Amino acid sequence: DAKTTQPNSMESNEEEPVHLPCNHSTISGTDYIHWYRQLPSQGPEYVIHGLTSNVNNRMASLAIAEDRKSSTLILHRATLRDAAVYYCILRDLMNYGGSQGNLIFGKGTKLSVKP
Amino acid sequence: NAGVTQTPKFQVLKTGQSMTLQCAQDMNHEYMSWYRQDPGMGLRLIHYSVGAGITDQGEVPNGYNVSRSTTEDFPLRLLSAAPSQTSVYFCASFDGNTGELFFGEGSRLTVL
């Protein structure tokens, strides 16, 4: 399975934009890029995902490099509630047999938000 | 919306005891799974199921059993608890249409 590399931790100020990077140099053409986050003492929650084009939703934006070897999760205005561990995960569309839900979670990036 | 519900939220066991962590989802998802998370670590896949009557092993299956008799329920059984199984356990279900994995709130297990 293709792996991802993320910084261990990042800091941000409240109400400022945050750019969380992820490297996935061995990504295959059928890998989706997913982002999840885990708030303290909670289960992970879905944030966003994409394949080739940049994606936006109410929580965040996902910018994908043209060669797809890296991506950036963008939180446009960080709030204290955004303090969490953010996971960048690859999901292979070609994992047939129903195993597409087998997401591999690394250690992620711990985001701290200062008031 | 209930989503994925796990019980119990907290449990303390003695070494050698057995117990079952319950997981239920009301989204009619075929795929369900169990992860464990140890301090400072990412989540590791224990077992998963792609539908009723079908289960398979994940990365760390030893010491755990699962069964899937209905679409809604996916219990995780510890047959003989060991201190190494002290962890937080998360159940999840997967929406194949949206590609989204939904997690429960977790079950914190301590084995003395």
Contact of B52 with chain A, judged by CB distance below 8 Å, is answered with no
Contact B31 A46 (CB under 8 A): no
For residue A13, with 0-12 CB atoms within 10 Å meaning exposed, 13-18 middle and 19 or more buried, which class applies?
exposed
Query: Would the CB atoms of A43 and B105 count as touching at under 8 Å?
Result: yes
pLDDT at A2 over 70: no
Say if CB A98 and CB B51 are below 8 A apart: yes
Write out the two tokens for B106: 């977790």
- Tens-digit pLDDT profile for residues A37-47: 999 999 999 99
Q: Is the pLDDT of residue A79 over 90?
A: yes
Question: Residue A97: its pLDDT value, please?
Answer: 55
Q: What is the pLDDT of residues B22-68, one digit of tens each?
A: 999 999 999 999 999 998 778 999 999 999 999 999 999 999 999 99
Query: d(Cα B112, Cα B105) in Å, to the nearest integer?
Result: 23
Q: What is the pLDDT of residue B98?
A: 86
Q: For residue A57, name the pLDDT band (cuts at 50, 70, 90).
A: very high
CB contact (8 A) between residue A100 and residue B99? yes
Q: How far is A65 from chain B (nearest CA, A)?
A: 21
Rounded to an integer, what distance in angstroms lies between the CA atom of residue B14 and that of residue B80? Answer: 9
Q: How far apart are CA A16 and CA A2, in angstroms?
A: 32
Q: Cβ neighbours of residue B70 under 8 Å, at least 6 residues apart?
A: B52
Cβ pair B72, B87 in contact under 8 A: no
What pLDDT does residue A95 have? 66
Most A CBs within 10 Å: which of B45, B93, B101, B108, as the mutation test of the A interface? Answer: B101
pLDDT tens figures, A81-90: 999 999 999 9
- Cβ atoms of A12 and A113 closer than 8 Å: yes
Tokens of B52: 């009723």
pLDDT digits (tens, 9 = 90+) for B100-111: 999 999 999 999
Q: Which two tokens stand for residue A84?
A: 């969490």
